[in-house]
Structures are given as C-alpha cells and as structure tokens.
A and B are shown apart, each in its own frame.
Chain A
Amino acid sequence: MIKMEDNVIEEMYARHFPLISREEQEKIAKKRVTVVGAGALGSWEAYFLKKLGVENIRVIDRDFVDITDLPRTAYEKEDIGKPKVDALKEKLGILGYFEDLNPGTMEILDGSDLVMDGTDNIYTRELINDYCVKNRIPWIYVGILSYYGNIMPIIPRKTACFRCMIPSLPSRPMPTCATEGIMSYIAPFAASLAVALCAKILLDEKIDNKMIFFDLKNMEFNKIEIPKREDCECCAYGNFIFLKKIIKIERDCEGAFIVTPPERMNVNIDEIEIKLKNLGKEYINLKRFIQFMDDDKKIIIFDSGRMVIKGAHSEKEAKNIFVRYMGD
C-alpha cells in the first residue's frame, strides 16, 4: 500500500499519471518484489524499484560494502564496511536479509510477485530459476560484464526458462566483473531496463519474450529470441535439481575448510593460473591442482572444483572464497 496521504501521492507521482493510472500506481505499490544480490545490479534494482513506487521490496545479500563497490553501485562512502542490505535498508526502507541464497534459504523468496536477478553467478541463477519455475513466480535474468548486458523475462509456463538456455553449470569459472572489468554506468543502465520490464510484468502488460542485449561500447541494442526447450529438465520435466543440491563444506583435522561443489566441474587449472597472475597472486600450478595465497589464506583448487582453504574463520567465509574463484 502507498502509505502516504492521497494528495502527496498525486503530487509525487504526477509525472507517472499521464502514462499510467492511479490504480496502476497503487497496484505497483502493493506488489512484493525480491531482489537477490545487493551488488552493482541488485543495489540499483532496489533503488529503481523504490523510485517506481514498489513498497514491499526484499533484498538478500551477505556481503559488505567495499571501496571498490562505490563507482558501480548505489552505495556511498559512508556505507563502507556496512552489510549491503543494511545500507539499502537505511536508504530505501527495504526488508533486508543478510543471507546467502541456497537450497536452505529459498523460503525468503516465498510470496514474491516477482524476483529480480542481482546475482553475479550462474549457480544462484539456476537456483532462482528452479524455485521460480516450480512456484510459478516471474523473474528477470540480468547479467552484465565490461560494456555489455543482457536482460530476459522468465515467465513460468510462458517463456523459455534459464535452464532452456544454460542447461548445466559451466565447467569452468565464468568471467566476472572482477576479472574482466565493468564500466560504472553499465549496472544502473541494466537495472533500469530490468525495472522497466518489471513494471510491465507487474501491470500485466504484454511483454516481448526476447532477451535484450545491449552493447554500450558500440551503442547498440539487439533482441534475441530464446526458444523454450521441449526437453528442458526444469520447465518441461519439473526436475528441480538445484533446489536439492548443496555445496558441501567440511573441516579437516587441521581446521582447513574443504568445499565440494554439487557436481564435478572440470576446472581448467591453467585458466585459474592466468587469473591469479592477473591478480598478482603467488601460486604453484601442479596441473591437477593449483596452490596459492589469498591474503593470509592458503588455497588449493583441484580440477574437480574441490577447494581446500586454510586460514578461513567460518564456513561462510570459506563459501565466499569458493564463490569468488569458482563463480558458484
């Protein structure tokens, strides 16, 4: 509900009303939208959802604001060191969950009218997809890198789902904004497009079921048709494997964390070496595995995707390190 006085609403959304009705503005206000991830994409998505007039915004994230976040996120200097969800809560009054989305925390998405993708990895997107297809919740896939981005509406039973497009986890780490770079204006641009699409879905407007691809290096837009896959394990057969699988984290007798992915990943160790070299880390490449230091933590990545982390203080920290290097 819009909680302000009627005349304030009239005034505040005066520039919306030539385009949408007051009833439509109120409909938007009543919807519950959940944003998964509060990094570059997620922080701007939450920001633009609030500007659109969505009152019930939930954001899930388990990271803290860092100085490197400032150019491309909605955070400011005074937010450094705060949990991202707390910073957004102060700015926007959202409901924040300092959590990582995993098969054990999916209930955070319960009751959503729409889920927005603010994540930075394929695994979490597959999780969102399984949950949303299973529970028939529309969601919007958004991905960005360097000068590029793509946005795709996923409407269960109507459009292709994420797994129609990416049927399994990539066997090697996907390029990330940390390794490939990202210009500051890409995330807010993608988030704005995604919120525009969100508004259309919330108002039951007709949407084009295509993936939007943008290239701000060449100032070019394309729409790409992503057909529904007849034999899709997720949307055709209802096999929601990602909701069942969990990254396993154990501790060995010396206190090192051993992180095992849900399925064998066939990691290309030489590619990890290149990334480490670019990051200026010291490493030893032994072909089947690579050993390196990340600050005070000693890390070994095996070609199966298994990772041993010595010096991490908690399971959460170990999982964060795993996600940073393995993309899921």
Chain B
Amino acid sequence: MALVKYFATLREITGKREETVRGVKNIKELMQLLINRYGDKFAKELRDRAMILVNGKNILHIRDMDTEIEEEDVVSIFPPAGGG
C-alpha cells in the first residue's frame, strides 16, 4: 500500500491532497491507474512536466517509469509552476 501525495493543480484535479493505492508494482502501473481514475486532465498534467518522486527521490534518478513501488513508499507528484 503506497501513499500518493498530490501537489499544486493536481490537488484540484483529484480533489485530494493524498490517497493510498494498492496493487501496483511500479510507477508505470500507478500512473495508468491514476489516469484511468482521473482522466485526461490528469494525464495532461503528468505528460512532460510533472515530477514524480518516490520517497523524495525523482524517478528520473532511479528507473524512471520502471521504478518499483514497495509497501509504505511515498509517491509525490509535483508539477513545477512555470508562471511568474
């Protein structure tokens, strides 16, 4: 059971700040599950710009979408703001 934390606009899309997710092996599966759950708007936020951190570490520094998710892991999804 992993804890997924949402930041910025993802909070408005999901209507949540965090939730627990079961039965996913890696980030790819988690993202698929969340896209199915929250639809296109969520997918668009993810594509290109959201940073995904597992236990505070960017998946780009681990195994990207193949990064495994273990029990108790905290996955943070964070789209950096570009406005100014």
Contact = CB atoms under 8 A, between A and B. Distances in A.
Interface size class of B (residues with CB under 8 A): 20 to 34
- Which among B49, B78, B83 has the highest number of chain A CB atoms within 10 Å? B83
A222 B83 contact: no
B8 interface: yes
Interface stretch (A80-88, A129-137, A224-232): A224-232
Nearest to A328: B82
Interface string B50-61: 010100111011
B48 interface: yes
B11 interface: yes
- Which among A165, A167, A187 has the highest number of chain B CB atoms within 10 Å? A165
B84 A42 contact: yes
B53 A224 contact: yes
A120 B83 contact: yes
A182 to B, nearest CB: 6
A176 B48 CA distance: 15
B58 A165 contact: yes
A167 B59 CA distance: 13
Contacts of B82: 120-122, 143, 145, 174-176, 327
Contact of B17 (A121, A218, A327): A218
Nearest to B49: A170
B11 A218 contact: yes
A148 B7 contact: yes
Contacts of B57: 225, 227
B56 A224 contact: yes
Contacts of B80: 143, 150, 165-166
B44 A143 contact: no
A145 B58 contact: no
A229 B51 CA distance: 14
Contacts of B12: 146
A122 B48 CA distance: 12
Interface residues of A, number: 46
A29 to B, nearest CB: 26
Contacts of A117: 84
- Which among A117, A217, A227 has the highest number of chain B CB atoms within 10 Å? A227
Contact of A175 (B7, B47, B53, B83): B83
A148 B47 contact: no
A220 B17 CA distance: 10
Contact of A213 (B49, B58, B60, B78): B78
Interface string A27-69: 0000000000101111000000000000000000000000000
B84 to A, nearest CB: 4
A82 B80 CA distance: 31
A144 interface: yes
A144 B17 contact: no
Nearest to A169: B48
Contacts of A271: 44
Interface of B: 7-9, 11-12, 17, 44, 47-49, 51, 53, 56-58, 60-61, 76, 78, 80-84
Given A175-B9, A176-B82, 8 more contacts: A120-B84, A144-B83, A150-B8, A150-B80, A170-B49, A215-B8, A215-B11, A227-B61
10 contacts: A145-B8, A146-B9, A149-B81, A165-B80, A174-B82, A176-B82, A226-B58, A227-B57, A230-B61, A327-B82
**Smallest CB-CB A-B distances: 6 pairs:** A143-B81, A120-B84, A174-B82, A177-B83, A145-B81, A148-B8
